[in-house]
C-alpha cells in the first residue's frame, strides 16, 4: 500500500489541476477513523489535521498542502483546527 504524500503546489499547478472545480469538504475539530476506497487528492484551504496510520506513520496536514491518499489506506483523523478542503477521487 502507498503512503500519504504531501506537496506545496504553486498557483500554476493548482490551476492546471483544476482544484476550483473539485468537491468541497469541511469538518470542525474532532477525531474519527477513515478508510479510502479509491485514491483521493485533496487541497487544504484552511485548517490543521494530524492523520495517523496503523503502521505508526503520522502526518500533519495544513493549509496550502496538496495531499494524496492511496486507495486501501485506513487511518485516524484528528482535526485540530476546522479544516476546509477540496478533493477529487481517482
Residue 1 has pLDDT above 70, yes or no: no
Q: Which residue has the cell 476506497?
A: 37
pLDDT one-digit tens code per residue, 30-84:
999 999 999 999 999 999 999 999 889 899 999 999 999 999 999 999 999 999 9
pLDDT confidence of residue 2: 74
pLDDT band at 16 (very low <50, low <70, confident <90, very high): very high
Alpha-carbon span 66 to 4, nearest angstrom? 10
Structural domains in the chain, CATH included, are 5-89 (2.60.120.10)
pLDDT confidence of residue 86: 98
Q: What is the dihedral of CA 52, 56, 62, 65, to 10 degrees?
A: -110
Report the first-to-last Cα separation within the chain, whole angstroms: 15
pLDDT confidence of residue 48: 98
Amino acid at each position: 500500500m502507498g503512503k500519504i504524500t504531501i506537496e506545496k503546489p504553486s498557483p500554476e499547478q493548482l490551476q492546471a489541476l483544476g482544484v476550483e472545480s473539485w468537491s468541497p469538504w469541511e469538518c470542525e475539530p474532532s477525531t474519527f477513523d477513515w478508510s479510502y476506497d479509491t485514491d483521493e487528492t485533496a487541497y487544504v484551504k484552511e485548517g490543521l489535521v494530524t492523520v495517523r496510520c496503523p503502521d505508526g506513520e503520522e502526518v500533519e496536514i495544513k493549509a496550502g498542502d496538496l495531499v494524496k491518499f492511496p486507495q486501501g489506506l485506513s487511518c485516524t483523523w484528528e482535526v485540530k483546527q476546522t479544516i476546509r478542503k477540496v478533493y477529487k477521487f481517482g
